[in-house]
């Protein structure tokens, strides 16, 4: 009976992740601050993009309610109608503001 080889962990490439070079000198404080600021900006832009996607999804739901007829209360349909037209523009405005910061 042949002995089983231990399973080797599979390797995978992870996005734009940096691999820290152990042979390089440590970061200076200024380099570290700059790197952390870049990471913070990237995370903030991701969150802004998530908000824009959520606003668009909310606009779609609002449109369904606005078009839902008598199944929904009149006030809810009216508010949903306004939201369905306002939210996509708000999402694009947020994206434009974020794009200016790049």
Express each pLDDT in 33-80 by its tens digit: 999 999 999 999 999 999 999 999 999 999 999 999 999 999 999 999
Q: Which of 57, 55, 77 is nearest to 67 (CA)?
A: 77
- What are the tens digits of pLDDT across the range 3-42? 566 566 554 555 555 666 666 777 899 999 999 999 999 9
CA angle centred on 30, ends 28 and 31, rounded to 5° = 65
Whether the Cβ atoms of residue 94 and residue 55 lie closer than 8 Å to each other: yes
What is the pTM for the complete model shown? 0.67
Residue ranges of the domains in the chain?
Answer: 29-100
3-class DSSP assignment, residue 18: coil
Q: Kindly report the CA angle at 62 between 61 and 63, in degrees rounded to 5?
A: 90
Q: In the chain, which residue ranges form alpha helices assigned H by DSSP?
A: 29-66, 74-100
């Amino acid at each position: 009976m042949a002995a089983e080889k231990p399973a080797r962990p599979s390797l995978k490439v992870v996005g734009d992740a940096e691999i820290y070079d152990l042979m390089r000198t440590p970061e200076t404080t200024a380099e570290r601050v700059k790197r952390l600021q870049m990471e913070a900006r990237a995370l903030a832009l991701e969150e802004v993009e998530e908000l824009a996607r959520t606003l668009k999804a909310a606009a779609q739901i609002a449109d369904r309610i606005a078009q839902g007829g008598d199944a929904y209360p009149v006030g809810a349909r009216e508010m949903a109608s306004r939201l369905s037209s306002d939210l996509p523009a708000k999402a694009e405005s947020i994206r434009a503001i974020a794009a200016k910061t790049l």
